[in-house]
Amino acid sequence: MIKARIAAKMSQKELADILDIEEERIKECESKDYQCASFI
């Protein structure tokens, strides 16, 4: 997912805005390779 975000030339902030979550959550998930991500 990190590679897809970067390939789309999207910042963590832009992704957070699209998902309507805090940018800090994106940073946290990316630092853990999205193991903290919830799909609920």
Give domain status of residue 26, yes or no: yes
Question: Would you state the pLDDT for residue 37?
Answer: 66
Give domain status of residue 8, yes or no: yes
**Directed axis angle between helix 23-31 and helix 12-19, to 10°?**
110
Longest CA span, the chain: 26
Give domain status of residue 25, yes or no: yes
Residue with tokens 């902030």: 13
Give domain status of residue 12, yes or no: yes
Nearest-5° angle of CA 23, CA 26, CA 27? Answer: 90
Predicted confidence (pLDDT) per residue in 1-40, tens digit: 888 999 999 999 999 999 999 999 999 988 887 776 666 4
Give domain status of residue 39, yes or no: no
Residue 10 sits in which domain range?
2-31
